[in-house]
Amino acid sequence: MTAQLGRRDDVAAARAAALAGLDTSRWPAKLPVRDRLTLLFDPGSFVEDGLLANARSEGLPADGVVTGVGRIEGRLVAVIAHDFTVKAGSWGELGCEKQIRILERADRDLLPVVYLVDSAGGRLNDQMGFFPGRRGASRIFHLQVRLSGRVPQVCCLLGPSAAGGAYMPAFTDWVGMVEGNASMYLASPRVAEKVTGEVTTLEEMGGARMHATVSGCGDEVFGSDGEAIAAARLLLTYLPDSFRDRPAVAEPRPPALPHWPDDLVPSDPNQPYDVNDVIDRIVDEGSFFEIKSGWATEMVCGLGRIEGRVVGVVANQPSVRSGAIFVDSADKAARFISLCDAFNIPIVFLQDVPGFMVGVAVERQGIIRHGAKMLVAMASAEVPRFTVVLRKAYAAGYYAMCAPGFEPRATLALPTATIGTMAPEASANAMYANRIAQIEDPGERAAFVARRVAEQEAEVNLLRMGSDLVVDAVVEPGDMRAELVARLAAADGWDRTRDRRHHVVSPV
């Protein structure tokens, strides 16, 4: 198995394989399309459409794409699977028509869609078939956008996804890529060199690891087709069939690590720790499915279960860049929150945030605009939201992680929590900078600063926060999971606001 990006990825792949009932030791890295479908669907459940497409043309069986409907864990799911042995899985007129027809059916019947992508893009000797018309590639993309938020769309990128076809994975909710085989690019290295003079490699420009760690276009890296397909099967167990439904409740399991050590969340706000150790004590054992584990790692996002109920987790990661929110981590959180809201998944925010990153570089990257996207996604989400302040919650980062003004169902805090515009030390130094500079004696200066810091700490202490209804409860660490279990159950009757507006105008 290829070395994975996050510390849980090998465990997740093994869980996925066990769920699918597959023996990973027998999987070659790259499989023929029919074997891929055998791994994807429950035995004997696949019903194919358009098998005889282009049967009069030699060398074009099924026109290079297999479409149809099968069952995954008993649920009906539509599939588009490119056949790389037929003209490199390229798209022609009838291949586009087949993909359009299955997406139209998914839209009509509200079926989740799995994409097994392995395509060199449009078939250049059939440009009039795939490119300019009403039933070409643009119609495929239109239908993918129409399906977005209506049904889950999951992509296993098992080979190339080239040129305009690279947008097929981009429109889906999750992209698992096979290292060494999968690639995603608008132009090949050869074309890029001709156009820009830039000399590069396919892996550097569009490989799996690059997209999963740099661009954010990929969600996870796998070592074989089978691992990616098994992970897609597993992901679908967290998602409902459509926006009209709620995720299925599974058999409850205790957390992997029920004991909460006293120093798990250090009281020193500057001491790093791994927020995954907190997540392990809140969600059911083995249930955390991390999303984009290798990208913008100062933010952890993923799906898990609490007493069998599916939840989304959005957590700051103090062990990476202090958990500050950067441009990419704001985008990562915004997209994940939108996914949860689309498919009726409650969200738990785990706050330990010093704020948004500051400085010339991030301002030029548009940190305000990207932060606004996260705030818009969070504020627009109508699913039940719960905020847990683990330690520090400072500045606009506190807002973005679902502060009380954004109407979470509850704001809970550990005894280690501090909420404020900034750390008490920084606040005191900012407020009294001139006075501090005027004190010449070092001892007197230190004593003055200590008094001012104590005043700031008193201003933002938890008793004050609870008294003023900023937090709803201060919860001992060992009781936090039980508190969330009770509050999730109490929110069961939630419903959406009707006819408020079409949608927000999102920041770019």
Tell me, what's the pLDDT at 23? 61
117-121, 270-274, 404-408, 419-423 — which is least confidently predicted? 419-423
Q: Using CA of residue 284, residue 385, residue 325, residue 221, what is the dihedral sign?
A: positive
How far is it, in rounded angstroms, from Cα 338 to Cα 507? 14
Instruction: Name the CATH superfamily housing domain 275-417+471-491.
Output: 2-enoyl-CoA Hydratase; Chain A, domain 1 (3.90.226.10)
* pLDDT reported for residue 27: 67
pLDDT tens track for 179-233:
999 999 988 888 888 888 888 888 888 999 999 999 999 999 999 999 999 999 9
Q: Is the pLDDT of residue 9 over 80?
A: no
The pLDDT score that the predictor gives to residue 11 is 47
What pLDDT is recorded for position 58?
80
Q: Which of 85-94, 281-290, 318-327 has the lowest mean pLDDT?
A: 85-94
Identify residue 7 by its one-letter amino acid code. Answer: R
Tokens of 175: 């992209």
Task: Report pLDDT for 103.
Answer: 98
Cα–Cα distance, 115 to 205 (Å, whole number): 22
In this chain, the answer to whether the domains covering 16-238 and 275-417+471-491 adopt an identical fold is: yes
Q: Give the DSSP letter string of 340-402.
A: HHHTT--EEEEEEE--B--SHHHHHHTHHHHHHHHHHHHHH--S-EEEEEEEEEEHHHHHHTT
Looking at mean pLDDT, say which of 122-136, 405-419, 446-460 comes out highest. 405-419
Q: Per-residue pLDDT for 441 more than 90?
A: no
Tens digit of each residue's pLDDT (9 = 90 or more) over 246-258: 999 999 999 999 8
Within 13 A of 432's CA, how many CA atoms are on the CB side?
Answer: 20
Each domain of the chain, given as residue ranges in start order, spans: 16-238, 275-417+471-491
- Cα–Cα distance, 42 to 171 (Å, whole number): 26
Instruction: Give the pLDDT confidence of 139-154 residue by residue, as tens digits.
Output: 999 999 999 999 999 9
> Distance between CA atoms of 37 and 468, rounded to whole angstroms?
57
Closest C-alpha among 359, 284, 279, 344 to residue 315? 279
In the predicted model, what is the mean pLDDT of residues 158-186? 93
Q: What are the DSSP calls for 52-118, one per residue?
A: TTTTTSTT-GGGGEEEEEEEETTEEEEEEEE-TTTGGG-B-HHHHHHHHHHHHHHHHHT--EEEEEE
For residue 503, is pLDDT > 60? yes
- The residue count of the chain comes to 508
pLDDT at 265 over 60: yes
pLDDT at position 151 is: 96
* Percent of the chain topping pLDDT 70: 92
Backbone torsion region of residue 244, taken as left when φ is above 0, otherwise alpha when ψ lies between -120 and 50, otherwise beta? alpha
122, pLDDT greater than 50: yes
- The mean pLDDT value for 4-9 works out to 47
d(CA 287, CA 246): 17
Residues 2-27 have a mean pLDDT of 52
Query: Residue 507 pLDDT more than 90?
Result: no
As a whole number of angstroms, the distance between CA 166 and CA 152 comes to 19
Residues 6+ apart with CB under 8 A from 44: none
| Dist CA 436 CA 178 (whole Å) | 58
Please give the helix or strand (H or E) that residue 160 lies within, else none: strand 153-162
Q: pTM score, two decimals?
A: 0.91
- Mean pLDDT for 155-171 is 92
Closest CA to 93 of 125, 131, 129, 128: 129
- What phi, psi does 345 have (nearest 5°)? -110, 115
What distance in Å separates the CA atoms of residue 242 and residue 240, rounded to the nearest whole number? 5
Q: For the chain, what percentages of helix, strand and coil (3-state, to nearest 5) are there?
A: 40, 20, 40
Structure-block tokens of residue 387: 């905020």
Reported as a single tens digit per residue, the pLDDT across 65-120 is: 999 999 999 999 999 999 999 999 999 899 999 999 999 999 999 999 999 999 98
Q: pLDDT of 22-37, one tens digit each?
A: 565 666 778 999 999 9
CATH number of 16-238: 3.90.226.10
